[in-house]
Amino acid sequence: MAQGVLHLVRSNGSLMTSRTGVELVVQRIASRSAKPGVDLLGAVFSTNVHDLVADPEVDVILELIGGEGLAKDLIESALAAGKPVVTANKAVIAAHGNQLLAGGNVPLRFEAAVAGAIPIIQSLRQGLAANRIDAIYGIINGTCNYMLTVMEEEGLAFEEVLAQAQALGYAEADPAFDIQGTDAAHKLTILAALGFGTSYDFSALYVEGITQIAAEDIQYAKELGFKIKHLGIAVHSDAGLETRVHPALVPESALLASVNGVMNAVQVVSDGAGETLFSGPGAGGAATASAVLADVLSLGSAIAGQSGAAAQRQNQNQDKPKAGPAPAISRVAMDDIASACYLRIPTVDRPGVFAQVASALSAHSISIEAVIQKEQPASDASVSIVIMTNRVVESVVNAALKELSALDTVVGEITRIRVAPTH
């Protein structure tokens, strides 16, 4: 990540200066490991990150370590020393954002923490600042989006595509962090805090990954007019704020449905600006560097153009709400959230099974909006009944699924994929 920043400063440094009036000087670089074999642009190198804080020539500190241990230490000591920090570290912000941003006197910026190159943080803070935000929908994990796209385009199974993604470097050797939804949940925690003025509360999110999605789900969804996307969803209604990360059916005609591969996108629905969407590469050294340097240049403009005290006031403006208490927003429990659902129910291939399933759903007042039932049984002689339900509260669907699962005609795990809300 640091290399991407160095590369962009080297190639575009003078362009940045002509655009913004800010001249970037890479004063110091610190790394726990050995000095990297790249052009450090004349910076002093050391293996102690706290040297960055101690150097009086350093105006802004870039935390590009990752993880929560040393990275958090560095951010804390920099802020305590009055030095603005730019970080790409979503885990630290999602877990410790409330604490790290509590003081608010020294700027802490994190454009690169969500959706890579996309200036979504700035857009929420400034570009859309006049709006009441109603909803945020994000394709915010490139690994999941890449895998779902390839599963759709090539009809491959989850495990095959995962191996392919790992070979291409789009998935880690241990992919759990991405494919189980944790990474997307970190990012949604940040988007929700900024969009709705709430606290950074990772634990309030419902989180589900893409591991249960089969190639056939993608095909069935297509027959029904949907694509399956792994979404971060934050919706504010009279009931409160719902924040959840899970695979979702998105209508094929929606712009989000056309965001493919490793690209990320965040759709923001607000009262004035309506439906706005921001897309771009969600990861990669150059994309992250673009976002990191946007933060640095913004801080640099403030430092260059202002006296010290005024700079802090101005930056404080952008980092936390200052006037009046933020309205308390209650969180909606996952059990209380209503969604239309796609259900794929593996059953024995026998007459009367569909009626049995339909009657179980009906007993919970769940109605069936569409059905797909194929003739040919799967290799294990089971057949899939695919059902689209009406919009039903989560707790009711859960109860119905429990009952369905207990039927001896149901011979495997039921797949439930929620339909994304629409505005």
Q: Which residues are catalytic?
A: 187
168 binds a copy of itself, rule: CB under 8 A? no
d(CA 251, CA 225): 6
Query: H-helix or E-strand containing 133?
Result: strand 133-139
Q: What are phi and psi of 57, to 5 degrees?
A: -80, -10
Q: Which residues pair with 270 in a beta bridge?
A: 133, 274
317 binds a copy of itself, rule: CB under 8 A? yes
Place of tokens 């291409």: 168
Strands, E assignment, 208-297 = 226-237, 240-251, 263-270, 274-281
Of 290 and 347, nearer to a copy of itself (C-beta) is 290
Place of tokens 């050995």: 34
Q: Which residues pair with 418 in a beta bridge?
A: 248, 341
Of 228 and 297, nearer to a copy of itself (C-beta) is 297
User: Helices 158-168 & 142-154, crossing angle to 10 degrees?
Assistant: 120
Whether 97 and 118 have beta carbons less than 8 Å apart is answered as: no
One symbol per residue from 199 to 228: x for binding a copy of itself (CB under 8 A), - otherwise; what is it? Answer: ------------------------------
Among 3, 122, 356, 390, binds a copy of itself (CB under 8 A): 122
Q: Which stretch binds a copy of itself (CB under 8 A): 298-306, 365-373, 374-382, 394-402?
A: 298-306
Minimum CB distance to a copy of itself, residue 104 (Å)? 11
Whether 268 and 136 have beta carbons less than 8 Å apart is answered as: yes
Of 67 and 305, nearer to a copy of itself (C-beta) is 305
One symbol per residue from 65 to 84: x for binding a copy of itself (CB under 8 A), - otherwise; what is it? Answer: --------------------
Among 113, 245, 302, 387, binds a copy of itself (CB under 8 A): 302
Place of tokens 């969180």: 331
d(CA 274, CA 118): 19
12 binds a copy of itself, rule: CB under 8 A? yes
Q: Which stretch binds a copy of itself (CB under 8 A): 215-223, 318-326, 350-358, 359-367?
A: 318-326
d(CA 101, CA 108): 7
**How many residues sit close enough to a copy of itself to count as binding (CB under 8 A)?**
78
313 binds a copy of itself, rule: CB under 8 A? yes
423 binds a copy of itself, rule: CB under 8 A? no
3 binds a copy of itself, rule: CB under 8 A? no
Among 89, 182, 189, 279, binds a copy of itself (CB under 8 A): 279
131 binds a copy of itself, rule: CB under 8 A? yes
CA-closest candidate to residue 358, choices 370, 349, 340: 370
Q: Which residues pair with 373 in a beta bridge?
A: 385
Which residues within the stretch 385-414 sit at the binding site for a copy of itself (CB under 8 A)? none
Of 259 and 385, nearer to a copy of itself (C-beta) is 259
Of 153 and 336, nearer to a copy of itself (C-beta) is 153
Minimum CB distance to a copy of itself, residue 249 (Å)? 17
Among 118, 140, 185, 210, binds a copy of itself (CB under 8 A): 118
322 binds a copy of itself, rule: CB under 8 A? yes
Of 185 and 293, nearer to a copy of itself (C-beta) is 293
Q: Which residues pair with 249 in a beta bridge?
A: 228, 419
Which residues within the stretch 183-202 sit at the binding site for a copy of itself (CB under 8 A)? 197
Q: What is the DSSP string of 1-34?
A: -HHHHHHHHHHHHHHHHHHHSPPP---EEE-SSP
- Give the Cα-Cα-Cα angle 265, 268, 270 (nearest 5 degrees): 170
- Give the Cα-Cα-Cα angle 15, 20, 26 (nearest 5 degrees): 70
Non-local (6+) Cβ contacts of 125 within 8 A are 194, 318
Minimum CB distance to a copy of itself, residue 7 (Å)? 8
Minimum CB distance to a copy of itself, residue 262 (Å)? 10
Minimum CB distance to a copy of itself, residue 35 (Å)? 24
Minimum CB distance to a copy of itself, residue 55 (Å)? 23
Which residues within the stretch 326-355 sit at the binding site for a copy of itself (CB under 8 A)? 326-327
CA atoms within 13 A on the CB side of 41: 18
Minimum CB distance to a copy of itself, residue 415 (Å)? 27
